[in-house]
Structure 1
Amino acid sequence: MSTTGRDQAPAAAASDAAAALDAAAFVRLVSDATGAALAATGVLARALDDAGTPFQASVAAPFADPDRTTEADATVALGRPHPAADYALCDRPAAAAFETVRELGASPDATLALAGTVAAGDVDGSVAEAAEQAGLERRPGVAVPVADLADGLAHSTLLSAPFSGTEAQVRAALSDLDLPSELDDDARRRVASLVALAVTGTDTAPPRAAAAVERALRPYAGGPFETVGGYADVLDAVARERPGVGIALALGHESVRDEALDAWRTHGGRAHAAVASATTGRYDGLFVARGDAMPVGTAARLVADFRAPEPVTLVVTDGEAAARAADGRDVAAPMRTAAESVDGTAVGRGERARARFDVSTADFITAFREAV
């Protein structure tokens, strides 16, 4: 939802979206700036390309309205609704896009769809089954996109551990395992155990951290990166840091692989530095982390999953904030109320929301505390 008050396209059933795409001579796809939405966009775009249907795909930043000048027979929003869209696949967008392509009678890219559901933190059973039928298998270890474990663990935003953000600290932790040069399943299990203990063994880790880190363990191997979970992590990073590269990656262009990994390292490094250096405050039901120039969306997820002792997390930097709820409660409504009270703008749905404002961080924190 947005404080702009503009009408939004209603959520679409897969069958309705499929019928519109099947009849369209030109399609426009508008992705939210998340890995799940970007994967969903890629799933639809690849199916349209296979069918010979022209399309345009783009990523819309959280507070940006898509350009509505492009003529299209059908415009589909992925991840969040937009005024320009005729149809919106917002809830579990990668799984919804997967089902939409099936409704078209085509074969969706199961690996990309699976990466999208991992990015969303909710692996879909139908998508996972299709991926396994396509030959993907789970193996022991940790979901990283690169072969170098120190690089992968330092920059992964699927977890937050004391060594996150620093390759040297990861290498020091791995050195105690005496790993072979070629990792076998036993070595991968030892790495996974190290990560699980590092994440959950700190005094600041909430009980939910044990469940949150499961997303990074026992990954599916395959796809354009070392693991599907690593693919998901890269998609989420490029959607936020380099959306043009993200679209190319989602469309399957291997030429952008190195650029995508660079964006992933940049994003992971910024997020972990923000979490480590944030000034925090604890209130009744609310945990606040404040810092400078941080990627608030990713930082809010990491704090909520791995650091926050309260069910609601608010991450704030100059002019921008993000909120996450770990217990499923709605934070979009209080975020909207807080933003309106300081003449700001809010977007979000359900358990996650963001705001933009032009007051001090202290004033916005007060406004959100009063609203929540």
Structure 2
Amino acid sequence: MSTEGRSVEPASAASTLESAGFVRLIARASGDALAASGLVASALEATETPFQVTVARTVAARSDRVHTPTHEDDVTVVVGTADAASDANDVVELATADRPATLVAVDLVRELDVTPDPVVALAGVVASGGDPGAGESEWLLETAREQGLLEQRPGVAIPTADPIDGLAHSTRLHAPWSGDRDATREALADAVDSDSTDFSADDHRAIGSLVAIDVVGADDEADAAAETIGRALRPYATPDGPFATLGGFADVLAATASAEPGTGVALAMGHDVREPALAAWREYGRRAHDALETASTGRYDGLFVVGIDDGPVDAVARLGAAYRSPEPAVLAISEGQSPSSNRTQSDDGTGEAAIATREADHLGATVEAVARELADRAPEADIEYDGSRRRGYLRFNPDVDDATIIAAVRELL
């Protein structure tokens, strides 16, 4: 039984970590979890506590690591759900059902008398689907602005100074030219000089207007696209950060969590891995947009199904829910016949599906129920899963037919 949902007590968790001889950090594959892991790892580094960070895609994979025998003074920190993790005294859980893992990590880091990096923390909040400065993150935004780490400007939230590169590969938006650099360059031709890297506020404003018009005006865009693209406009620039904007940073965290988790962990810890992280993000974004453009679709009451041959199902589901789906939830299914960017070599040939929703904040329990239902319907499915507030992931034997997966999701969503 998975255990996500209880709030961690920061003081108790800090006391546990302070007495640890070695800390194992085990994180789910999400931008939020990467940011949380990076904050805690940086704090452990500052307090000279040895540690190791691994990213595990499913609840089962994290549970296996949690229950692997360790030395007597080792402590395991789980950023995400793990089966029966609370049964062990040497396990600290950082993810809860109602808060970004990043904010839980911020509380823990402060209890360790370490100041969390506000830009990394805010990027994690954005990656979780939150707005920077909203609710509990307000003080983080104020701190970052007071320190000159963030400044709001017109334009679009992308990670690169080059708008063509940034817009073509972003998974925070979807337009007719997304995924194609040449098409993006042509779309921006009347707004910016493609050879320039220095843009004024008016230039950024023109880019933002053009992007909003193209996104909302596309023939196949859903009504929700206007609200979604609005959240990517007027970004917070990060003058001293590894990427051009806070939203762009969040986009790279989300991409590396699936495509290059080791690079993502290093990025969240503040190491200089900008170029490999951007390379992973570009490929991830290109393949996600290509998959969405060539996908088959089906509409059911409350659910929009997107079938792809290959691609990162998590990004396809998220983009579909934000920009394409007439229904509040999207199920993206990949047959898994070739390696996808969010699958390791040993997983080639495994079927994958992802669920994303615009409305619900409780998908973790729902995805677990879907996995159990699938296991009952198809015992040979070899189901593994993961779920957070608005995202879900399923891995299964590719012999399981799409109809079985769709039926299980429709019944429980």
Q: TM-score, normalised by structure 2?
A: 0.83
Worse overlay, 341-350 or 292-301: 341-350
**1:218-367 alignment runs, 5 A limit:** 218-222=234-238, 223-254=241-272, 256-318=273-335, 319-328=351-360, 330-331=362-363, 332-333=365-366, 335-340=370-375, 341-343=377-379, 344-358=383-397, 359-367=400-408
Alpha carbons of structure 1 residues 7 and 221: separation in structure 2 relative to 1, 3 Å: closer
| SS in structure 1 of the partner of residue 354 of structure 2 | strand
Q: State the alpha-carbon separation in 1 of the partners of residues 70 and 171 from structure 2.
A: 35
Alignment correspondent of 1:95: 103
Q: What is the identity, as a one-letter code, of the residue corresponding to 2:226? A: A
Alignment correspondent of 2:145: 132
Alignment correspondent of 1:58: 54
Q: What is the identity, as a one-letter code, of the residue corresponding to 1:80? A: T
Worse overlay, 213-222 or 69-78: 69-78
Which segments of 5 or more consecutive residues in structure 1 lack a partner in the other structure? none
Which segments of 5 or more consecutive residues in structure 2 lack a partner in the other structure? 336-350
Alpha carbons of structure 1 residues 172 and 48: separation in structure 2 relative to 1, 3 Å: same
Q: State the alpha-carbon separation in 1 of the partners of residues 374 and 385 from structure 2.
A: 6
| SS in structure 2 of the partner of residue 327 of structure 1 | coil
Query: How far apart are residue 336 of structure 1 and its match?
Result: 2.6
Alignment correspondent of 1:204: 220
**1:13-92 alignment runs, 5 A limit:** 13-62=9-58, 64-65=61-62, 66-67=64-65, 68-71=68-71, 73-81=74-82, 83=84, 86-90=91-95, 91-92=99-100
Alpha carbons of structure 1 residues 132 and 59: separation in structure 2 relative to 1, 3 Å: same
Q: Deviations over 1:100-155 (max 9, x none)?
A: 21222221111111111111121332322222222121221112111221111011
Q: What is the identity, as a one-letter code, of the residue corresponding to 1:78? A: V
The total of aligned residue pairs comes to 367
Worse overlay, 50-59 or 211-220: 211-220
| Aligned residues of 2:34 and 2:257 also touching (Cα < 8 A) | yes
Alignment correspondent of 1:119: 127
Q: What is the identity, as a one-letter code, of the residue corresponding to 1:335? A: V
| Aligned residues of 1:36 and 1:119 also touching (Cα < 8 A) | yes
Alpha carbons of structure 1 residues 292 and 338: separation in structure 2 relative to 1, 3 Å: farther
Worse overlay, 270-279 or 100-109: 100-109
Worse overlay, 87-96 or 155-164: 87-96
| SS in structure 2 of the partner of residue 232 of structure 1 | helix
2:204 to 180, 185, 188: 188
| Aligned residues of 1:271 and 1:295 also touching (Cα < 8 A) | yes
**Given the alignment of the two structures, is residue 162 of structure 1 paired with residue 185 of structure 2, yes or no?**
no
Query: How far apart are residue 98 of structure 1 and its match?
Result: 1.4
Q: What is the identity, as a one-letter code, of the residue corresponding to 1:132? A: R
| Aligned residues of 1:143 and 1:227 also touching (Cα < 8 A) | yes
Q: State the alpha-carbon separation in 1 of the partners of residues 174 and 267 from structure 2.
A: 25
| Aligned residues of 1:336 and 1:347 also touching (Cα < 8 A) | no
Q: State the alpha-carbon separation in 2 of the partners of residues 9 and 73 from structure 1.
A: 24
| SS in structure 2 of the partner of residue 238 of structure 1 | helix
Q: RMSD between aligned alpha carbons?
A: 2.2
**Given the alignment of the two structures, is residue 147 of structure 1 paired with residue 165 of structure 2, yes or no?**
no
| Aligned residues of 1:118 and 1:215 also touching (Cα < 8 A) | no
Q: State the alpha-carbon separation in 1 of the partners of residues 371 and 170 from structure 2.
A: 31
